[in-house]
Amino acid sequence: MVGMNKSRPLIGISCCRKNFGIFQAPNHAASDTYVRAVDQVVHGIPVLIPANGADAAIDELVDRLDGIMLTGSRSNVQPSLYAGAPLPADMPEDAARDGVTMRLIRSAIKRGIPVLAICRGMQELNVALGGSLHQRLQDLPGHIDHSTPMQENAAIRTGLAHFIEILPQTILQDLVGSHRLAVNSLHNQGIDRLAEGLVVEARALDGTIEAVRGAFAGFVMGVQWHPEFDFMTNEISRSIFARFGDAARARYIPDT
């Protein structure tokens, strides 16, 4: 970074390992919605973090970043990381991503780097700090189906699906100004045993943990829904990214 004039914070965005094209070649990918949220609301410079597993130089990477966004994904956190039962064949995993994000989270928190964890990202946050996951919420007694409606209509697929109850004296209550919020819902897994160092911010009406924050120094927030889908039209979604951006800007020191 020597000799560079850094006018905006660098925001790392976690990628997944996915196969694309007619030859199904492996790629590192993150949805455009996350990049646009960093560009337009966080007002940072988006930096895609490849899912290169053990090859990732995590500490050197984190030393260069001012904030980290952990993205959602169709893949699931490996159950071996939280002593869970093997996943069925129709629930994909991404070991290369897990090999990056587990270390990335711990390194970022140790250094006080702001973290915003979304959907799979919130599950990774919990597992990286010692928590565990429910693998299929819809199989639990008294729980609703939180999974994605599999249809082409994006307005329905990513639309508001259920309410969450927001706990008092939380970041989310400060942003929302109310104890209840309607959110979208596109996940099978959810937090089971909450990791030490995380505090519940909100729950779905069936008890599922929907938002958490870090109880340690620095900004760490996780949400189980997807604010990146509607940040252009939803004030609350936009405010989540804006608060993360404030934390990233408060931390970084521009090069001179």
Q: How far apart are CA 124 and CA 77, in angstroms?
A: 7
In a domain, 63, yes or no: yes
In a domain, 236, yes or no: yes
Which residues constitute the domain of residue 66?
10-136+189-251
pLDDT band of 143, cuts 50, 70, 90: confident
In a domain, 151, yes or no: no
pLDDT tens digit string along 202-225? 999 999 999 999 998 899 999 999
For the chain, what is the domain count?
Answer: 1
Q: Which residues contact 187 (CB under 8 A, 6 or more apart)?
A: 72, 119, 120, 123, 137, 146, 147, 148, 224
pLDDT tens digit string along 156-168? 666 676 889 999 9
* pLDDT confidence of residue 93: 85
For the chain, helix (H) and strand (E) counts, in that order, are: 7, 13
CA–CA distance from 230 to each of 50, 116, 241 (Å)? Answer: 25, 16, 11
Q: What are the tokens at 107? A: 């390194």
In a domain, 131, yes or no: yes
In a domain, 115, yes or no: yes
Catalytic residue among 16, 119, 124, 210: 119
Is 152 known to be catalytic?
no
Look up the CATH number of the domain holding residue 196. 3.40.50.880
In a domain, 3, yes or no: no
In a domain, 224, yes or no: yes
In a domain, 100, yes or no: yes
Is 119 known to be catalytic?
yes
Neighbouring-strand partners of residue 181: 164
Is 187 known to be catalytic?
no
